[in-house]
Chains A and B, each alone.
Chain A
Amino acid sequence: MIPSGLPAWSRTAEISSYGGSTDKQNYMSQGTTNPVTDLSAEEHARMVADLAAAVRTAPFATLTINDQNAGADPTVVFATTMATGAAPSMYDGGSPPLGFPAVTRDADGEFTITMPADADDDYGVTEAVEIRHIVASLCGSLPGFIAVEQLTTTTAKIRVWDISATLVAGRVFSVRVW
């Protein structure tokens, strides 16, 4: 069995992906036989509409990155909300586990994040991963700036500055990718 529709990160979810349709109605337009045991067409419609809406805005990946060792690739501390699963533990950004994003250090305060080209859902359906949106924010107690620059459909550069607008090493930051 192959599920209908496409995996969540395709951003194409709509009610028909989950068997919903505004034309779908209870057989012979009757209510539930027993509301304690039955699911009505109206309840199903609401469920799939809300699910599709939530899936469209769910991030594909959320990472927290620690640039603690100058000159080395940073450590990905958390990658806990990947739509495909969570990393079992922190990992070296330059050597990610299969299917997880790579984060390499280009210079002080400059990093490149590379998403996997595609990913499989729980049914083995493969869908390309394309960065549609990316946001980043600094962690820790020091002020500074952070900005993102999308390079390709799967890569983006992250830059981190201190408060005097100088690229700076050693910071921790979080990134979310849609």
Chain B
Amino acid sequence: MRFGGFCPFPLPLGGDWTAAEHGRVAADVAALQRASEFAVLTFTKSGSTFIVHEYSGQNGAGIAHAPEMQDYGAGLVLLTWSPWPDEARHDVELHPRIIAAEGTLHGNAPGQVVVTPLEDRHLAFVSIFDGAGGPMDGTVTVVVSGAASARIGDYGGAADKTDSQTEGDVPYAWTWYRALTGALGDAYTREMDSWVHVEKLATARLNAGVTRAADRLSFNALPGTSDDLLSMWQELLHVPVDARATRHETRQACGAKFRAALGPTMRNVDEALEQLLGPVFVRTWRTEGPDLATEPVPTMWPGGTPGPAGYDLGGGAWISARRHLVVEVRRPSSMPESEFLELLNVRMFRMLDDMLPSTATFNWATGITTAGGFLLDISRLDFDGMT
């Protein structure tokens, strides 16, 4: 009962297709999209005549989708792929981004095929050689690989995705349908191939739309669950526009920023970090000291708890280990380092700078095994946690 006419898009996760199952699909499709070949084609070159035997590509399957072939002399072919319409959105054109290629010679004589992806990234140059290293025409199969930057957010995936508590198990339309069936009584047929069914279904879907509208109103009242009003929340909360961010990443950033307004308690800070960083977040480290009266090292508070003179920075400046927050993070292998550093050094920095009192300091590190310290000559300082 989860799918079909009783549960139109947007599809609430839960029941027969849970958020966890959808998350696995999103992650695997993203992985598949990143690692899959862009195209495979088998063709024969005979002078300036080309015969394409088979073509399978991300731009389509069949000879009609094969690249343009240009003769550059004996054994030399230039392959050119044109942009193609996006299957998901026909108003958008996709472009190949070729990064690697290989080829195999067909036939019963030795030879070699060399395929070179060109800088334009929609071109590949094929060179066919015989066993003596001379150029020759022939039949070859060429495999080209492209660079894809698929992210789970493209497919509705997000680390904070959960099953729907409202429609996860039973769609609203089905609840309305049963209510209408009961209200009509036994005088009306209950067969699901009747006009009565059609009218009940249409009315149930309409009412479900109204019920969803009420839900949507309440969910849009908070930035962490807002979709329709996300841009408004982004503006209100001064969350910067990031052209590369998915809607889920923007939503998470807004949710984390909103949580900051609740005050910098340990729990709020941790939850805001978890929401902003998603799978990057591991935990926070705080230095509290053995007891309240004994300040942890290093502490220097001129006029209050002075601490060792060696910690005095002069000019009345003070430092406190208790006011320092370390965020332990990990970089998922699928996340480029530039994106990882931008998330931590720009987005997390901005959020903690707003959220924490001006007297507090913070930093981040990966691979912390014990609080403080570093692995000398092994760790990248300012990157890995110190032990």
Interface residues of A (CB under 8 A from B): 11-15, 20, 22, 24-28, 30-59, 132-137, 145-150, 157, 159, 161, 165, 176, 178
Pair A47/B29 contact, Cβ less than 8 Å? yes
Tell whether, in the assembled complex, residue A56 and residue B29 are in contact, meaning their CB atoms are under 8 Å apart. Answer: no
Query: Contact between A33 and B131 (Cβ–Cβ < 8 Å)?
Result: no
Q: Is B41 an interface residue (CB 8 A)?
A: yes
- Chain B residues contacting A26 (CB-CB under 8 Å) are 8-10
Q: Are B87 and A15 in contact (CB under 8 A)?
A: yes
- Some 6 contacts from A to B, beta carbons below 8 A apart, are A27-B209, A31-B216, A37-B164, A50-B150, A51-B29, A58-B37
Smallest beta-carbon distance A69→chain B, Å: 24
The CA-CA distance from A47 to B110 in the complex, in Å, is 43
Residues of A within 8 A of B25 (CB): 47
Interface size in chain B (residues, C-beta < 8 A): 78
**Are B12 and A50 closer than 8 Å at their CB atoms?**
no
- B87 contact from A42, A49, A178, Cβ within 8 A: A49
Q: Is the CB of B155 within 8 A of A40?
A: no
A137 vs B143: C-alpha distance in the bound complex, in angstroms?
12
User: Is the CB–CB distance between A41 and B104 below 8 Å?
Assistant: no
Bound Cα distance from A38 to B164, whole angstroms: 7
For residue B213, which residues in chain A have a CB less than 8 angstroms away from its CB? 30
**Which residue of A43, A46, A57, A150 is within 8 Å of B58 (Cβ)?**
A57
Q: Is the CB of B38 within 8 A of A50?
A: no
CB distance from A126 to the nearest CB of B (A): 20
Query: How far does the Cβ of B228 sit from chain A's closest Cβ, in whole Å?
Result: 5
CB neighbours of A136 from chain B (8 A): 104
Nearest neighbor of A52 in chain B, beta-carbon distance: B87
Tell whether B122 is near chain A: CB-to-CB under 8 Å: no
**Cβ of A35 and Cβ of B32 under 8 Å apart?**
no
Q: Considering only CB atoms, which chain A residue lies closest to B205 in the complex?
A: A27
The answer, yes or no, to whether B120 is at the interface (CB within 8 Å) is: no
Q: In the bound complex, what is the Cα–Cα distance between A59 and B88 (angstroms)?
A: 23
Question: Given known contacts A33-B10, A37-B13, A37-B165, is B33 in contact with A53 (CB within 8 Å)?
Answer: yes
Given A27-B9, A47-B29, A135-B102: A22 and B163 interface contact (C-beta under 8 Å): no
Closest beta carbon of chain B to A129's beta carbon, Å = 14
Whether A149 contacts B12 by the Cβ 8 Å rule is no
**Contact flag A54-B9 (CB < 8 Å), given A37-B161, A135-B103, A165-B131:** no
Instruction: Give A15 to B87 CA distance when docked, in angstroms.
Output: 7
7 smallest CB-CB distances across A and B, nearest first, come from A43-B156, A27-B8, A145-B110, A37-B164, A53-B58, A49-B88, A47-B155
- Where chain B touches its partner, the secondary structure class is mixed
Return B18 CB to nearest CB of chain A, in Å.
10
How far, in Å, is A138 (CB) from chain B's closest CB? 10
Tell me the dominant secondary structure on chain A's binding face.
mixed
One of B183-191, B219-227, B340-348 at the interface = B219-227
B80 close to chain A: CB less than 8 A = no
Inter-chain contacts of A31 with B (CB < 8 A): 10, 216, 227-228
B29 touches A54 (CB 8 A): yes
Contact between chains at A178 and B40 (CB < 8 Å):
yes
Interface residue from A38, A54, A132, A145 paired with B54 (Cβ < 8 Å)? A132
B21-64: contact bitstring with A at CB < 8 Å (1 yes, 0 no)? 01001100110110011111110000000000010111111000
Q: A34-B164, A178-B54 are in contact. List 7 more A-B contacts (CB 8 A).
A: A30-B212, A33-B227, A54-B36, A57-B57, A148-B141, A159-B108, A165-B131
Which residues of chain B are within 8 angstroms of A52 by Cβ–Cβ distance? 87
Q: Given known contacts A148-B104, A150-B106, is B227 in contact with A32 (CB within 8 Å)? A: yes
- B168 in the interface (beta carbon within 8 A): yes
- Which among A38, A45, A132, A150 is the interface contact of B12 at CB below 8 angstroms? A38
Residue B382 interfacial (CB < 8 Å): no
Query: Are A32 and B10 closer than 8 Å at their CB atoms?
Result: yes
Residues of B contacting A11 in the complex (Cβ-Cβ under 8 angstroms): 56, 61
